[in-house]
Structure 1
Amino acid sequence: MKMKKIFVTLLILLFVLVLVLVVRTVTYKFGKVEMNVSDKELVNTAPSEQAIRHFVGGIRIPTISNEFYNETNFKPFDEFMKYLADSYPEVYRVMDVDTINKYGLVFHWKGKKSKLNPILFLSHYDVVPVAGYDPSAMTPSDTIFQLNDKPLPSIQAYAEKWDYPPFSGAVANGRIYGRGTLDMKCMLFSLMEGARNLINEGFQPERDIWFAFGHDEEVSGRQGALKIANYFKEKGLHFDAVYDEGGIIAAPGSAMEAIQEPLALVGVGEKGFLTLRFTVRGIGGHSSMPPAKSSLIYAAEIIEKLNSNQFPAQIISPIAKFFDNVGGYMGFLSRMAIANQWLLEPLLLNTMEKSPASNALVRTTTAVTMAKGSDAPNVLASEAEVTVNFRILPGDSVAGVMEHVQKICEGYDVSIDVISQREPSGISPENVRGFQIIKEELAEIYPAAIVTSYITIGGTDSYKYQIVSDDIYRFLPICLNQYEQRTIHNENEYISLENFGKIQWYFREVMRNY
């Protein structure tokens, strides 16, 4: 009889628990996009032929940065700077233009009210190289320009990986092809076009507007953005908002299969990083007389321990808001997990851990990227090297990662050298004008988009501007599917004419309406 009472009590408790979970799920206030476009005509964002030609000309200049700064070929950078001045005389006439460290470009557009804090737009004009391609070998015949469905001249695809040569700036199939079309000359030229159009309208902003264009973002930004940020600090500037790359509009289903609406991911923070080289020592010699464990075996053990002992998954504030914003578009079980994190957070984290992209949003990640033993097949190296890259979630720290690593390496004869490091960024607020205007302008061109905070996984120049602003937003209003996202730093990089037009419209209106 006693057991029966216990069983009934447990059933009642289970029923109450399920009821609580369901009620909390049904009543949870998920974000919802309010679409009201029935009485409003969508704005025309088609780019002009002049804007396209300006952009194409910039893509044709191969401003390739070099990890070894002094070995950079700066001739294209000189050409690019002259090209900008020739293409946008109105901007150079109205704005004060300065150069920092010779190639960092700074533009200052004075507003009507100097007491208002200014806003800052960032971009960079260096690009990553294209393997095996010599941009100096490009001939004028490589350039293709097709508008209004005109027939295309025939051209041989570059190594069957690019539809058109990487620095041709070819315009075809409703796209502009070339290295830098997505990363990041599209933002730079959109800002210049937007400013030119506003100037031609006779517009003057209420507050000061600044542009800062770095020239070595792809190789750390130490000679460009870092020096520009220090220049701003020395001038005593504090920006109301800073805008940079680092988030996109993920096409329906491309970020999360359940989300069949455009997902605008606004980076309100970014992960830090720590790259370490482990030098593991053991017994070397001839491979015919191997010890029980060589240096490479010890290194493999350390790799296995690093891989098995991942940092704990956690939901930090921007990702919690991300769940709130997207949860209403997900299935009932997912909504239940989000609405009842007090109980179901482990289930939610387990779901995030299944995909590399979502896993990176909830933990400091560990990536073993390089390993080296001996230089000969019959030699046991006395030392083995392993390189590991950690991407640090805001809330964790470089010191915390080092402590984790040192604990794993206890008992091994190993030295650890820091190759590069940077703490995670701060988290920018959402209840401010700098974030709200993103939502306002996006509603005009992507009325169905879900706008949500997000953590930028990669590094951007914007981190360096924390010394002059607390409100930094990493976002480019460009809608990309999974294939297009993979072309960044990869083969066949291109931007659609539709995307290029919308970026221009967006930045022009942010400048107009901030």
Structure 2
Amino acid sequence: MKKIFLPVFAILLLLIGLLLARTFTFPFKKIAAATGTPAQITINDSSISRLSGGLKIPTISSGDSLKFNDVPFDTFNEYIKKNYPFIYQHAESYTINGHALVFKLKGTDPNLQPLLFLSHLDVVPPGGAGIKNTETDLFQPKDKPIPPVSKIAKEWDYGPFSGAVVNGRIYGRGTMDMKSMLFALMEALQNTMKSGYQPKRDIYLAFGFDEEVGGELGAARIADYFGRQRLRFDAIYDEGGFILSKGSVEGIDANVALIGCAEKGFLSLKIKVKGLGGHSSMPPSETAVGKAAAIMQKLEQNPMKPTITPLIQDFFKNVGGSMSFPSRLAIANDWLLQPLLISQLSKNHTTNALIRTTTALTMMKGSDAPNVLSSEVEFVANFRLLPGNTIQEVKEHVAKLAQGYDIEISEVDNSREASIVSPSDTKGYKIMETSLNRIYPNLLITPYLTVGGTDAIKYQALSNNVYRFMPIKINNSEQQSMHSINEYISIENYTKMIRYFEFIMQNYDKDGGK
């Protein structure tokens, strides 16, 4: 017995030593020291006023073309033209599909691929308790329209379309998503032009008007136009990740900038389950509702298989140095401890979304009366696809779990595959790092997987380098205000965002931006 125990004990000690050695020598990314001259941030009252005025125009997007209201979008576009006459006078500008805006500042070298910066004009409805933020509810009764803005406004400290500037903040629907970034880009382009700087490569700004409902009429049409012009971009920048303040990301003890190098796909499946209808006084042994419930339970209890993709491996390599020792141990030794790491990540809904195609049961419809058995029950399952999974694989997964039931499956909304994964060793990525280090010292910067959808995916055929990032530093409560009541952006964040984009525009071709 002793002869067996000693070799096993020795092997165990060697294994522990190996695990510890790999953990202490693993090349986790360190927070970079600030380089170069820190950026000077000056608050400009005029730029704040222009954003405030733009927030007062209710450019609410609608998934129903019959409900789309052109007037606010026409008003908004006229507002942009009136407030940025210098850009309209000295840069190219045109409108696509009635409302989408495109601007082009010509560079000195036509052989260089241009840069493209994205945003969108539209916003979700004002929202609030019990108020739907989109108009795509498949089961919303037609006789129960969304309450008027005047009623919803009572839930806001300042009106959703007030553009109020109070205590260092700018309030209104669109301050976080996405008018602040649109105006920051316009300010940055105007400041760049007025400074006399002329870039080497062309700089494009492109603003869709229906991102919140799929982007098919705005971004998709712009991308199609660029494609027909045979344009290829060196880098494309859109919304996506943020700078999350220290403590906002569970387990990461640092301010961390999450640069989206890919985004998850989107698939909503309406699953119609058939059963025996009739009066509730004589129910069958299993109703359509019961069958639907059984399928839903299977979907929730049997999600798609988790995978730590190369992008997420890179993410953990970057942030691991600011995590606890057990987390660093698991990351550094994933060759052995990956099952444990996946188990831990799966327990938290935020990190779970990074390692698997998620399943969310979102909507359900059955009988319209309490004493009537419905012969059909419909429910919607929304899937956010991990890069590497496909829509077809998800459909096969659902069909397998629902085997034996009489069902019909159909797609709803705008399905899309997961995006390509953009590299983080390009000039387009590194200039983001340099700009951030100038404006936000002591910042951890990492590639990331954007779990929500953006207009950027419409443009991925036009560049290999598509980055999703909004350069503002926020905490959890500020992040939660997006698409909710009391949405706001701090004046400091807005001002720094302008400077960030100015830096990229003016330094992209200056020794790699350094």
Give TM class, smaller chain.
over 0.9
Alignment correspondent of 1:21: 19
Corresponding residue to 1:203 among 197, 201, 208: 197
Corresponding residue of 2:122: 126
| Counterpart residue type for residue 507 of structure 1 | F
Asked whether the 8 Å contact 1:46–1:497 carries over to 2, the reply is no
Normalising by structure 1, we get a TM-score of 0.93
Aligned to 2:253, which of 245, 249, 260?
260
2:351 matched residue in structure 1: 358
Cα drift, residue 287 of structure 1: 0.6
Q: 1:7 maps to which residue?
A: 5
| 1:190 equivalent among 179, 184, 192 | 184
Contact 2:34 2:442 in 1 (8 A): no
Of residues 339, 342, 345, the one that matches 1:346 is 339
The match for 1:79 is 75
Q: CA deviation at 1:43?
A: 2.5
1:144 match:
none
Deviation of 1:133 after TM superposition, in Å, equals 6.5
Aligned to 2:499: 505
1:51 matched residue in structure 2: 47
Measured after TM superposition, the shift of residue 470 of structure 1 is 1.1
1:396-435 superposed matches below 5 A: 396-420=389-413, 421-435=415-429
Offset from partner CA, 1:71-108 (integer Å, 9 cap, x none): 11111111111111110111111111111101011111
Report the equivalent of 1:90: 86
Equivalent-residue separation in structure 2 for 1:228 and 1:490 (angstroms) = 29
**TM-score normalised by length of structure 2:** 0.93
Bigger mean CA offset, 115-124 vs 199-208: 199-208
Distance of 2:407 and 2:34 partners within structure 1: 62
The amino acid of 1:24's aligned partner reads R
Q: Does residue 66 of structure 1 match 2:66?
A: no
Name which of 459, 473, 482 aligns with 1:465.
Answer: 459
Deviations 1:131-150 (A, max 9, x none): 46745x69xxxxxxxxxxxx
Three-state SS of the structure 2 residue aligned to 1:221 is: coil
Q: Aligned letter for 2:65?
A: Y
Please tell me whether the aligned partners of residues 360 and 382 of structure 2 are also in contact (alpha carbons under 8 angstroms): yes
Alignment partner of 1:297 out of 290, 311, 314: 290
Displacement of 1:322 after TM fit?
0.6
Between the aligned partners of 2:270 and 2:401, the Cα distance in structure 1 is 14
Counterpart in the other structure of 1:247: 241
- Give unmatched runs, 5+ long, in structure 2: 128-145, 509-514
Q: What is the CA distance between 1:197 and its match in structure 2? A: 1.0
RMSD of the alignment, in Å?
1.4
Displacement of 1:8 in angstroms is 1.4
Secondary structure, counterpart of 1:232 in structure 2: helix
Q: 1:23-60: CA deviations, max 9, x gaps?
A: 111111111122147xx763222330010011101001
Code of the aligned partner of 1:303: M
DSSP-derived class of the 1:102 partner: coil
Deviations 1:215-247 (A, max 9, x none): 010111000000000000000000000000011
Aligned-pair CA distance for 1:500: 0.3
| Counterpart-to-counterpart distance in 2, 1:44 and 1:162 | 34
For residues 342-385 of structure 1, give each alpha carbon's deviation from its aligned partner in whole angstroms, at most 9, with x where no partner exists: 11111111221122111101100001111122111111111111
- 1:116 match: 112
Asked whether the equivalents of residues 46 and 498 of structure 1 are also in contact (C-alpha less than 8 Å), the reply is no
Pick the aligned partner of 1:42 from 38, 42, 45: 38
Q: Conserved in 1, the CA contact under 8 Å of 2:273 and 2:378?
A: yes
Distance 1:191 1:41 in 2: 22
Aligned counterpart, 2:438:
444
Q: What SS is found at the alignment partner of 1:260?
A: coil
Q: By how many angstroms is 1:70 displaced?
A: 3.1
1:315 correspondence with 2:318: no
1:460 deviation in Å? Answer: 0.2
Partner Cα separation in structure 2 for residue 130 and residue 185 of structure 1? 14
Q: Does structure 2 retain, via aligned residues, the 8 Å contact 1:311–1:364?
A: yes
CA distance in 1 between partners of 2:97 and 2:244 (Å):
36
Count of aligned pairs between the two proteins = 489
**Using the alignment, how far apart are the partners of 1:375 and 1:498 within structure 2?**
51
> Does the residue aligned with 1:428 lie in a helix, a strand or coil?
coil
Please state how far the C-alpha of 1:194 moved relative to its aligned partner: 0.8
Larger mean Cα displacement after TM superposition, 112-121 or 345-354: 345-354
The answer to whether the Cα contact below 8 Å between 2:126 and 2:153 also exists between their aligned partners in 1 is no
- Please say if residues 32 and 443 of structure 2, whose CA atoms lie closer than 8 Å, have aligned partners that are also in contact: no
Judged with a 3 Å threshold, the aligned counterparts in structure 2 of structure 1 residues 375 and 36 are, in CA distance, closer, same or farther, namely closer
Report matched runs for 1:111-190 at 5 Å.
Answer: 111-131=107-127, 134=148, 158-159=153-154, 161-190=155-184
Match of 2:131 in 1: none
Equivalent residue, structure 2, for 1:369: 362
Cα distance in 1 between the residues matched to 2:376 and 2:403: 17
Identify the residue that residue 147 of structure 1 maps to in structure 2.
Answer: none
Deviation at 1:158, TM superposition (A): 4.3
Secondary structure of the equivalent of 1:289? coil
Distance in 2 (CA, whole Å) between partners of 1:221 and 1:172 is: 32
